[in-house]
Chains A and B, each alone.
Chain A
Amino acid sequence: MDNMKMRAQLKGDFVEVKVLMSHPMETGRRKDDFERLVPAHFVQLLTATLNGKPVLEAQWGTGISKNPYLTFRLKGAKVGDIVAVTWHDNHGATATQDIAVTTA
């Protein structure tokens, strides 16, 4: 499940980072076709770093949509800087991806 799609583009005085993650984000309340509850399975923590320095920490509940989407903005980042994103879910699974900042 590490097929995270990322883009980091310099837009004027900030860098805009867009992330699309692949994750079912099950609430634990949905029933399958056989009326069985599908266990909760969701991303709980997401962290982002710029050149290794933490810039964003997010805690999530089950209310984030399936295949989570996120945009955030960084001041003081330059073309070539490395933005990394890591998530952890409630099953202990994790994924990390990084990308270099490009011009828009």
Chain B
Amino acid sequence: MQRRDFLLGLAAFIALLPSKVLAALWNKAAFESVLLNDASRHLDINAEIPSADIHIIAPDRAENGTIVQVEVKSNIANTEAIAIFVEKNPTPLIANFMFSNGAEPYVVTRIKMAETSDIKIVVKAGGRYFTNAKNVEVLENGCG
């Protein structure tokens, strides 16, 4: 086999294995952590700085924890990522959003909450971590 053919074959092979590569990308250790601190550690979060520049919009009370809409906007310069945690969920890490090429550090999504808890946001910006939280009172468990 020619070296060129081999390289082309290798490129094709890499192109054809997205699911394995993606499975490797997903942060299994962080998402399966049952403790908030462990989940944070697996995301390499250290020395969180409290910040009022992280705006969280979520209801004060949720009738049903199966759908709680949460809106997060970071006004911190060079925000690269927004992670959403629910401290008292069976697995606290809900999502990690990473922004690039002009995406604003802004996201709205709907999450499950097992019980009354803080929604904790951690923003990664310039290699540092910033945090803010909003408490949501949950009347009916949404983690069935």
B84-98, CB < 8 A from A: 86, 89-91, 93-98
B144 and A65 contacting across the interface, CB-CB below 8 Å: no
Within 8 A of B (CB), among A1-52: 14, 27, 29-31, 44-45, 48, 50
Interface residues on A, range: 35 or more
Query: A30-B144, A56-B99, A61-B93 in contact; A70/B109 too (CB < 8 A)?
Result: yes
Contact B98 A56 (CB under 8 A): yes
Q: Are the CB atoms of A59 and B99 closer together than 8 Å?
A: no
**A56-99 near B? 1/0 per residue, CB < 8 Å:** 11111111111011111111110000000000100010100000
A-B contact count (CB 8 A): 118
Interface centre among A27, A30, A59 (most CB of B within 10 A): A59
Among B67, B94, B109, max chain A CB count under 10 A is at B109
A76 — nearest CB in chain B belongs to which residue?
Answer: B102
Distance to closest chain B CB from A18 (angstroms): 8
Q: Is B100 an interface residue (CB 8 A)?
A: yes
Cβ-based interface call for A55 (8 A): yes
Instruction: List residues of B whose CB falls within 8 A of some A CB.
Output: 18-19, 22-23, 25-27, 31, 66-69, 71, 86, 89-91, 93-104, 106-112, 142-144
- State the A residues within 8 Å of B (CB): 14, 27, 29-31, 44-45, 48, 50, 53-66, 68-77, 88, 92, 94
18 A-B contacts (beta carbon < 8 Å): A29-B90, A29-B144, A31-B144, A44-B23, A54-B101, A56-B103, A57-B100, A59-B31, A61-B31, A61-B94, A62-B112, A63-B91, A63-B94, A64-B110, A72-B103, A73-B103, A74-B104, A76-B102
- Which 6 residue pairs are nearest across A and B when measured between Cβ atoms? A71-B108, A63-B94, A61-B31, A65-B110, A73-B104, A55-B103
